[in-house]
Amino acid sequence: MAAVVWFRSDLRTVDNPALDAACENHDKVYGIFLVPQETWVAHDWAPIKVDLWWRHLAEFKDELAEKGIGFSVFVIDRFNQSGARIADFCEQHGVTRVYANREYPLDEVNRDKQAQACFQQRDIELSLFDGNLLVAPAHVKTKQGGYYKVFTPFNRAWRTEVNKRDDWATSQWTVADTVDTATEIPPCPLERKDSQAYPVGRQAIMGKLGQFIEHQVADYKAKRDQPSVDGTSMMSAYFEMGAIAPKTVARALTSLSPEFPYGLEPGADTWLTEVAWREFYQHLMFHEPRLSRGENYQTETQGLPWREAEDDFQAWCEGRTGFPIVDAGMRQLNETGWMHNRLRMIVANFLVKDLLIDWRKGEQYFMQNLIDGSFPANNGGWQWSASVGTDAVPYFRVFNPVRQSEKFDPDGTYIRTWVKELADVPSKHIHWPHSYLKQRKTGYVSPIVDHSEARERFLSTFKQVKNG
């Protein structure tokens, strides 16, 4: 009998439990990927992210073909059409079993419920797996049986569960009946932005991972907060589309410590903690569906009176705030579709706490521009920065962008890379160049806000809401 693997954010042939199960239990396997164009637009998919996925789909199709698996990409309008489109394909090809890996945001959960109901009406069975996480949400519980709301105890419990795994080997399978692979990838119906800086295909992606593990992970803890240094893995976009599995990453790290997930050197241990953060936010989405609807995790902060300040928001979006480190981060995002994580925190804190603009506007802008835009991680990061999320930064901690700049870009290398107007400013003036520039009448925008006054405004506003 034949089976269908319904691919989503798991575009890989290795460490993919849905694909493994289909190939181990069926002689013939078809792969399907659906492009719900209106849903992608509603979910604020960045054009550069669309381009990366589309390029990878072509490579992935060839990879599946080498294994005898046919692959079809179908463009639909919305998530709620998924079940019917796949059921039609199944009936045309005599398939009664569909395999897929779970996704955890609310719309994706509802999509799967609707698809399951459709499949049941047409005698098709859906088998779901937790292939996109190292530990499924149901397996990380407090002693009271609830879920963890604070990251540090979550990380401990998560590592305990990771430590129980003994399935680090890759699955070995072949399919008996080769499927005709003549189906072409259809034209992309959505706007695209060039993502050629990111190689696609399994060989290239695994090469990037190997390079990082071998040459960079040892220094990760020391260098990850320095935006001018190539100190991060740059794997986040591949995680997001599932071109590489967290299990693959974990297997690579097991070579660094026989006691994995314990006993790692500081760099590797810190990087594993970032994987845990990714899973923490996925778990939160699963346990708190209201987060998918734009609600603050801390319900008492729901009524914060945000400013309607479109000019300030546009200045932030375009990197015209007059705060060099903020402007550098936003210009990097706009040009490349990526921003260093330290900068994501700085610019988010600035939008919310200096400008008193709703964090959801920043969250949306990030999703509309990030090549690695992950709804759970992006939502969690913004709620953290806005002090409205679980385990968030305390509301009274307001980043001083100049101090952040001095600490993490001390000689101004990162600023000069992205804020060309400041290319010739000496290091001692680079973090706050306005007096220096005024004397020389050079063109760089004046600051749009006084940080000290803005800080007091935010603290007063937040305190009033907190105190009811």
Reported as a single tens digit per residue, the pLDDT across 193-241 is 999 999 999 999 999 999 999 999 999 999 999 999 999 999 999 999 9
- Active-site residue list: 274, 277, 306, 341, 359, 382
At 89 the pLDDT is 96
* Confidence tier at 171 by pLDDT (50, 70, 90): confident
Write down the CATH superfamily of domain 2-132. HUPs (3.40.50.620)
CA–CA gap between residue 114 and residue 76 (Å, rounded):
15
> Is residue 58 a known part of a binding site?
no
> Is residue 435 a known part of a binding site?
no
Q: Where in the chain is the domain with CATH 3.40.50.620?
A: 2-132
Q: Where in the chain is the domain with CATH 1.10.579.10?
A: 299-466
- Looking at every residue in the chain, the average pLDDT score rounds to 95
CATH code for the domain defined by 299-466: 1.10.579.10
At 65 the pLDDT is 92
Closest CA to 377 of 303, 271, 291: 291
> Is residue 274 a known part of a binding site?
yes
Q: Which CATH architecture has domain 202-293?
A: Alpha Horseshoe (1.25)
At 468 the pLDDT is 66
List the Cα angle 323/327/331 in 5-degree steps: 175
Structure token pair of residue 346: 């700085």
Reported as a single tens digit per residue, the pLDDT across 180-194 is 655 789 999 999 999
> Is residue 236 a known part of a binding site?
yes
DSSP string, 278-346: HHHHHHHHHH-GGGGGT--SSGGGTT------HHHHHHHHHT-SS-HHHHHHHHHHHHHS---HHHHHH
> Is residue 387 a known part of a binding site?
no
Q: Where in the chain is the domain with CATH 1.25.40.80?
A: 202-293
* Confidence tier at 169 by pLDDT (50, 70, 90): confident
